[in-house]
Amino acid sequence: MYKKTTLLGITYEFHSLKEIMAKANEEKSGDELAGISAENMKERMAARAVLAETTLSDIRSYPVVAPEKDDVSKLIEENVNEEIYGVIKNWTVADLREYILNDEHLSKELLQIGTGLTSEMIAAVTKIMSNLDLIQAASKITVITHCQTKIGQKGVLASRAQPNHPSDHLAGIRASLFEALSYGIGDAVIGINPVIDTTDNIYALLNETKEVIDRFDIPTQNCVLSHISSQMRAIEKGAPADMIFQSLAGTQTGNESFGISISMLEEATSLIFEKGTAEGQNRWYFETGQGSELSADAHFDVDQLTLESRCYGLAKHFNPFIVNTVVGFIGPEYLYDSKQVIRAGLEDHFMGKIHGLPMGVDVCYTNHMSADQNDMDNLSTLLSTAGVNFVIGVPMADDCMLNYQSLSFHDIATLRNVLGVSAAPEFADWLKKQGLTISSGQLTKQAGDPSFFL
């Protein structure tokens, strides 16, 4: 695809859709590292002008990664709802943006349009949307999913309790989990990142979390975020897992670098439906994050936003219970500072939602990134107003195992309080019954004390 445009007296030429897509992005250090970003602000705007006039059928005709060579492309292509696509294929990306933001079009309309779009079309429209556009659009979309409990309802801000421990010490994990529960955190999932990826250890961690859930009759679900194959071995041995987890990349080569394939994901799906401990139809937990394909040298000169969108195209195929981007974990060579992380968080959340995904965000940063906890205050507030399905909490925002910072339990309780949103309905009832909250959702005197559960 060749396009030419004149902007402010300068003529810009683009030689492929891939080039237009990359140059139309907001500034990201990862696209600079890949050598594909716009040279200056004017070229960035020229690329956006061209992209805005590109039709959806053009985007479909020029795949950024050929479906013959990449199973993620193939899957996305096969999952397009042809009936919807047929109606909108002559729309430009600008038309799509205006349809999405039109206030006559609400959750139902946006989710329906989403089925006729490829992940690349969704990435394209995201590139010509402002931060507030992304918040407005995402806030209209409701995606409710059901594993052991249901989350995603309007006015609900759910949370993952992440009680990690540097040596997977069970009593240590339990202590952190009690702290989380005492602040009303853990309604989306109790999810542990293990240090030791052996079958026996995954078994022990699943057992431990399930035991706490059963003992206190907590309406939530458990998950251990190890490689899919060790979870499968543990589940086959009888470990109680409500969900199964995997990190995803937006290309086949990227997924190979994670040691996974689509057929493995399908195999795991069968297993979790056969042997999983939950009741609902959504049994997957996926994590993603801009930049992972470049870091695995599996990006094919495609920009990181487009590749991230393709992760969602892949995720959608498996009807997950929860998905989150680990937005600030990857490091400054992909997202340099708070401005880039905040932008990426809003982009990922919107893209996930219009794909029809139960989208959450790990609002986070590493110590070599130009960001601090105030930036996480900002991003979590923005995402909560955008209706993010869930966020992640660790004690005082400091993950003592993964060595990065996310949100604290205090932060999530504060967001609920300030924005008038609540924990997931079943979990909110449980909190009230335990005497940790009053009807308004406000914490009682007993809350915020882990010894409450001793």
Partner 1 sequence: MTDENIANHLKSLKKYTPARIGVGRTGTRPLTKDFLSFRTDHAAAVDAVYGEVSSKLIEELDLFSVETCYETKDHYLKRPDKGRILSEEAKTIIKEKCTPNPQVQIVVSDGLSASAIDENILDVYPALLDSLSMYGLNIGTPFFVKGGRVACMDDIGEILAPEAFILLIGERPGLVCAHSLSAYMCYQPKKGMKESDRMVISNIHRSGTPAIEAAAHMGTLISKMLDQKKSGVGLVI
User: 280 to 339, contacts with partner 1 by CB under 8 A?
Assistant: 332-333, 336
Q: Cβ distance 96 to 125 under 8 Å? A: yes
Residue from the set 63, 116, 163, 320 that interacts with partner 1 by CB under 8 A: 163
Please choose, out of 148-156, 188-196, 410-418, 423-431, the segment that lies near partner 1 by the rule CB under 8 A: 410-418
368: phi > 0 → left, psi -120 to 50 → alpha, else beta; which?
alpha
Residue 26 within binding range of partner 1, rule CB under 8 A: no
* Three-state DSSP state, 34: coil
Binding mask 30-59 for partner 1 (x = CB under 8 A): --xx--------------------------
Q: Which stretch binds partner 1 (CB under 8 A): 3-11, 17-25, 127-135, 409-417?
A: 409-417
**Smallest distance, partner 1 to C-beta of residue 212, A:** 13
287: left (phi over 0), alpha (psi -120 to 50) or beta: beta
- Binding mask 329-358 toward partner 1 (x if CB under 8 A, else -) reads ---xx--x----------------------
Q: Out of 11, 40, 263, 367, name the contact with partner 1 by CB under 8 A.
A: 367
End-to-end CA distance of the chain: 65
Residue 195 in contact with partner 1, rule: CB under 8 A: no
Q: How far apart are CA 217 and CA 214, in angstroms?
A: 5
φ/ψ region of 365 (left if φ > 0, alpha if ψ in -120 to 50, else beta) reads beta
Residues with Cβ within 8 Å of 365's Cβ and at least 6 positions away in sequence, in order, are 328, 338, 341, 371, 372, 375, 376, 404, 405
Amino acid letter for position 447: A
Q: Does residue 259 bind partner 1 (CB under 8 A)?
A: no
Q: Which stretch binds partner 1 (CB under 8 A): 118-126, 215-223, 241-249, 399-407?
A: 399-407
CA angle 211, 216, 221 (to 5 degrees): 60
From the list 248, 148, 238, 230, the residue with the least C-alpha distance to 194 is 230
Number of residues that bind partner 1 (CB under 8 A): 46
- Shorter beta-carbon distance to partner 1: residue 69 or 169: 169
Where do runs of H (alpha helix) occur along 373-408?
A: 373-385
Q: Determine which residue in the list 67, 172, 280, 425 makes contact with partner 1, applying CB under 8 A.
A: 172
Taking the complex as a whole, the smallest distance from the CB of residue 155 to partner 1 amounts, in Å, to 18
Binding site for partner 1 (CB under 8 A): 29, 32-33, 163-166, 169, 171-176, 178-179, 183, 332-333, 336, 366-370, 372-373, 394-398, 400, 403, 405, 408, 410, 413-414, 417, 443, 448-451, 454
